[in-house]
Structure 1
Amino acid sequence: MTDTDRPQGTPGPQPKGSTSRAGRDLPAAIGVGGTLGVSLILILIFVPEVWFPVVAVAIGVASWEVTKRFRESGIKVALIPVLVGGQAIMWVSWPWGVTASIVALAATVLVSMIWKLLGQGLQSAPDNYLQDLAGTTLVLCWLPLMGAFGASMVLEDNGAARVFTLMIVVVCSDVGGYLFGVSFGKHPMAPAISPKKSWEGMVGSLIFGVAGSVLTVMFVVDAQWWIGLILGPVLVICATLGDLVESQVKRDLGIKDMGTLLPGHGGIMDRLDSLLPSAFVVWAILGALL
């Protein structure tokens, strides 16, 4: 059994002080995570209008990371439509809302269909057309479409508070899952997908996530506490499943991380895996209940 496949609670040999039981360079991960967190908090407090371009840039970089990994594995995602169309999906939501993002998604998928069809000219049939188009569509839905929900939240009433809710609850879920998983994790949740996730960690995520959700909704969003009680467990489950989805994608691709840009974390996409589906959940639930 390799260290990568070792279930949580039975860690392999590690250089003392260099990595955590979760298999990461803990000091680097804390330093990078703290710097990113503080930067985003300052943006949301003092210049919330900058949030939108920050998310758009992050989605662009993450899209490039994922597309590069897919192409290395033989899935030739349409790079230019993904990068250009992905930014269109993001930016049209600023003046026209997420409905416009869905329209832009449909247009980008249509362009991608033609792009892949004509990539080798009309005299030869494209190779692996269905596989490549499916990969392209997945990237567009997974990153820029979900990112549009997260970016556009800041434009709504009390938008910065809604974004804070997303960030705080996901961080609480991660912290609770890490603490309970490392301390008590003995029963793997999905050993075939992510061996280090445990049911004990999930309990910690739910406890910390729901508490963070209730407190954030009450004192940051200034709404009724029961909204946080609804949002918390849904968001924790969605964030956990989002992480598992990326784990399965990386397992299929035979890689550990999507990129190397963030020491101790991997790539930008490795930090967005749980945030992207969670952004849609926060947008939908707070939009419906506030």
Structure 2
Amino acid sequence: MTDAPEGPPPVAAKRRGLFTRAKREEFEARTHAFEEDFRAQVAATRAQIDATNVKIEARTGRNLPLAILIGLALGLALIASLIFVKAIFMIFAAVLIGFTAFELASALRFAGRDVPRWPTVIAGIATVPAAFFLGDQGKWLVTLAGILFVTLWRVAEIARPRHRTSARDLWADIAAGTFIQVYVPFLGSFAVLLAAQDGGEWWALASLVTVVLVDIGAYASGLTLGKHPMAPRISPKKTWEGFAGSVVVAIIAGVVLSIFLLHEPWWFGLIFGVVMVLTATVGDLTESLIKRDLGIKDISTWLPGHGGFLDRLDSILPSAAVAYILFLIFS
């Protein structure tokens, strides 16, 4: 038998082909519509996030997402070095103090004070190993030696014509250099001095965690509830509502850390939290006053979203000194 010649496809086959093509076209149309809708939603969400960030940055002066990322990176590195190897914490602290002393000296030079920057950095870094290896007495001696070193360097610079100035300005330059040594290396090295003590690393960690939480509490409550300026001439963005939020957070953190980290009674946590929030607030306002007198927004722009290192260490510097005093009294 011979095969019958092929004729036109049956009607059912045609319908199945048309149905399959229609389904494919419908599926492609739905997929395309979903993609367009997804892209539109992503664009709208991104625009909303950008608008929110613009509002937050306008109100607080920070790029919040970037500030959080950098803050977490610095915080985790510092905590890890403090817990696992104290010597690494000493190196970490020396780097922070060195950068902070350099940027503050640069800011003062921008304001007209002739502060020798590299001698300031060298003298500042020297206080860190002195505090770690030599203790309290060595820290004081090296700080005084650093002040003398920076002072003599500035006096010796008079021999160069471009560094010559009046006696009054020379004394102002010397005072500025002395201020940097006391404000940054001397106060900052208390954290190293505390960490070097037997069990002191936990006190240093508790003070750092409390100060960070104080900053977060003030930031969150001030952003959501802030209406009444706390010190409008010094720092217009700080409010009493933000301060109240920081006090609540500091007390809770102080009690929790006192019981579970420092193994001290709960009532010590109240003292610890209140003292930390007061010193952190004073440190923050002090740095704001410095920037106001210098006529600048940030000490530097080395840390995107934060400003400079001093903008992050301002609350920690006086708090470290007071935490060491509390350690000597209660530990």
2:135 counterpart residue number: 97
Residue 228 of structure 1 corresponds to 269
In structure 2, distance between residues paired with 1:176 and 1:113 = 40
Three-state SS of the structure 2 residue aligned to 1:82 is helix
Query: 1:38: which partner in 2?
Result: 76
Aligned partner of 1:26: which letter? L
- Partner residue of 1:69? 107
Which residue in the other structure is 1:4 paired with? none
Conserved 8 A contact 2:102-2:118: no
2-side partners of 1:105 and 1:44: how far apart? Answer: 23
Partner in structure 2 of residue 18 of structure 1: 53
5+ long unaligned stretches in structure 1: 1-13
The answer to whether the 8 A contact 2:70-2:303 is kept is yes
Q: Is the 8 A contact 2:100 2:310 kept in 1?
A: yes
Amino acid at match of 1:16: A
For the 8 Å contact 2:123–2:150, the answer to whether it is kept is no
What is the deviation of 1:154?
1.3
1:210 paired to 2:251 = yes
Seen in structure 2, the aligned counterparts of structure 1 residues 126 and 111 have a Cα distance that, compared at 3 Å, is farther
2:233 maps to a residue whose letter is A
Say yes or no: does 1:59 pair with 2:97: yes
The equivalences for 1:194-205 within 5 A come to 194-205=235-246
2:135 & 2:84 partners in 1: Cα distance?
23
- Conservation of the 8 A alpha-carbon contact between 1:117 and 1:126: no
Q: Of 263, 274, 278, which residue of structure 2 is paired with 1:237?
A: 278
CA offsets 1:69-108 (integer angstroms, 9 cap, x no match): 1111111112233111112222211221122111112222
Q: Measured at CA, do residues 48 and 170 of structure 1 come closer, stay the same or move farther in structure 2, by a change above 3 Å?
A: same
Number of equivalenced pairs: 277
**Normalised TM-score (structure 2):** 0.79
Equivalent pair of 2:191/2:320 in contact (CA under 8 Å): yes
Question: Highest Rg: 1 or 2?
Answer: 2
1:105-184 map, 5 Å: 105-121=143-159, 126-127=165-166, 128-184=169-225
Question: Do the aligned partners of 1:59 and 1:144 also contact (CA within 8 Å) in 2?
Answer: yes
Classify 1:120/1:88 alpha carbon distance in 2 versus 1 (closer, same or farther; 3 Å).
Answer: same
Q: CA deviation at 1:15?
A: 5.7
User: In the superposition, relative to structure 1, how do residues 263 and 122 fare at CA in structure 2: closer, same or farther (>3 Å)?
Assistant: closer
Q: Is the 8 A contact 2:108 2:114 kept in 1?
A: yes
1:263 to 283, 286, 304: 304
| Counterpart for residue 252 of structure 1 | 293
Identity %: 38
Structure 1 residue 111 displacement after superposition: 2.6
If asked which structure has higher relative contact order (CA below 8 Å, sep 6+), I would say 1
Once superposed, what is the RMSD of the aligned Cα atoms? Answer: 1.9
Conserved 8 A contact 1:98-1:148: no
Per the TM alignment, residue 122 of structure 1 is displaced from its structure 2 partner at its CA by 9.5
The amino acid across from 1:52 in the alignment is: M
TM-score by length of 1: 0.90
Query: What is the deviation of 1:125?
Result: 6.0
Instruction: Give the CA deviation at 1:115.
Output: 2.2
Larger displacement relative to structure 2 (178-187 or 39-48): 39-48
Aligned partners of 1:105, 1:277: CA distance in 2, in Å?
16
Residue 218 of structure 1 contacts residue 225 of structure 1 at CA under 8 Å; is this kept in 2? yes
Query: Relative to structure 1, is the Cα distance of residues 94 and 144 closer, same or farther in structure 2, using a 3 angstrom cutoff?
Result: same
**Which position in structure 1 is the counterpart of 2:67?**
29
Structure number with higher helix proportion: 2
